[in-house]
Amino acid sequence: MTRRTLLIAANWKMNPAPAGFDAADSPFRKDGDIDVFVFPASLDIAKCVSAGIITGGQCGRRESSGAFTGDVSMTMLKAAGCASVLCGHSERRKFHGETDQAVGEQVKAAIDAGLTPIACVGETLSEREEGKTFDVVKKQISSLPPEISIIAYEPVWAIGTGKSATAAQAQEVHAYIRTLLKNPCRIIYGGSLNVANAKELLSQPDIDGGLIGGASLKIEEFHSIVNTARTLK
Ligand code: PGA
């Protein structure tokens, strides 16, 4: 069986675009056989789109317009040239109270707007320690419409901590998630993915790419991860 096309996604969070992101040889550009998406802060979406980078929003509201101070809608992201959007990143769930139901509604609105949403799921440390990982991701996934085509498994305890899941831990949850899905879907891993662990994580049969925060802000490191992915395609 040929591999699903690997997707390497950069989540810059609330950080400026790294210097050189728009250079001709930038690793943030799609190149060859793998997909590369970039999720910049909203104010940097336009410059990524005009640089020819496949760009996504870090969040979007389901309503297309209205009295929602500070937010942007899925239709606005599409009109700005975005191809994708993150839905339910753990930082949105934590700092903005996004529920499983709201995340499901966002995913549906994103698909309706012509975007490819990436729905983020994952357990906290205490949930893992209590043996609830599968239950948590099952509940999160049960709120998503069946048309979802990309899921990011991001254990909350691994995000920004420098402590990634082991390849075996990640593979186990990815394989479980796949059993829950009716339609073909790419399942990417996020949580302290870096140049040292990329090869092992991305070699797992059910890991179809990575959602990368900290290491995506260091252009050389991101370049190495993209090159690693390319050798595994
Ligand atoms: P990290 O972030 O790579 O810095 O752990 C990943 C994410 O939050 O998507």
Q: What are the tens digits of pLDDT across the range 42-79?
A: 999 999 999 999 999 999 999 999 999 999 999 999 99
- Residue identifier of the C-alpha nearest atom 6 of ligand 1: 213
Q: Is the CB of 191 under 6 A from ligand 1?
A: yes
Is any atom of ligand 1 closer than 6 Å to the C-beta of 154?
Answer: yes
What's the rounded Cα separation, in Å, for the pair 75 and 61? 9
pLDDT at residue 70, as a whole number: 95
89 is catalytic: yes
What would the pLDDT profile of 111-142 be if each residue is shown by its tens digit? 999 999 999 999 999 999 999 999 999 999 99
Kindly report, residue by residue over 26-49, the tens digit of the pLDDT.
Answer: 999 987 889 999 999 999 999 999
Class of domain 7-232: alpha beta
Ligand 1 centre to CA of 198 (Å) is 13
What is the rounded average pLDDT of the residues 167-178? 98
Q: Has residue 1 got a pLDDT over 70? A: no
Cβ(40) to ligand 1 under 6 A?
Answer: no
Rounded mean pLDDT, 162-190: 96
**pLDDT recorded at residue 108:** 98
CA distance 117 to 106: 9
Q: Kindly name the residue from 89, 91, 98, 174 that is annotated as catalytic.
A: 89
% of residues, the chain, pLDDT over 90? 95
Q: What is the pLDDT of residue 150?
A: 98
pTM over 0.85: yes
The pLDDT value given to residue 224: 97
Please, what is the average pLDDT of the chain?
96
CA distance 93 to 143: 14
160 lines ligand 1 (CB under 6 A): yes
* pLDDT at residue 101 is higher than 70: yes
Residue to substitute in 8, 11, 87 for testing ligand 1 pocket (most ligand atoms within 8 angstroms of CB): 11
- 176 closest CA partner among 111, 122, 129: 122
Res 2: pLDDT: 64
DSSP H stretches of helix in the chain: 45-50, 74-79, 90-96, 100-112, 125-129, 133-142, 167-180, 198-202, 219-232
**The pLDDT value given to residue 23:** 96
Exposed/middle/buried for 118, CB within 10 Å: 0-12, 13-18, 19+?
buried
Angle at CA 209, nearest 5°, toward 39 and 195? 85
222 pLDDT band, cuts 50/70/90, is very high
Residue 233 has a pLDDT of 75
Using the atom order of ligand 1, give the atom closest to the CA of residue 214.
Answer: 4
Instruction: Give yes or no for residue 26 CB within 6 A of ligand 1.
Output: no
- Clarify whether 154 is annotated catalytic: yes
Give the span between the Cα atoms of 68 and 76, in whole angstroms.
13
**Hey, where are the domains in the chain?**
7-232
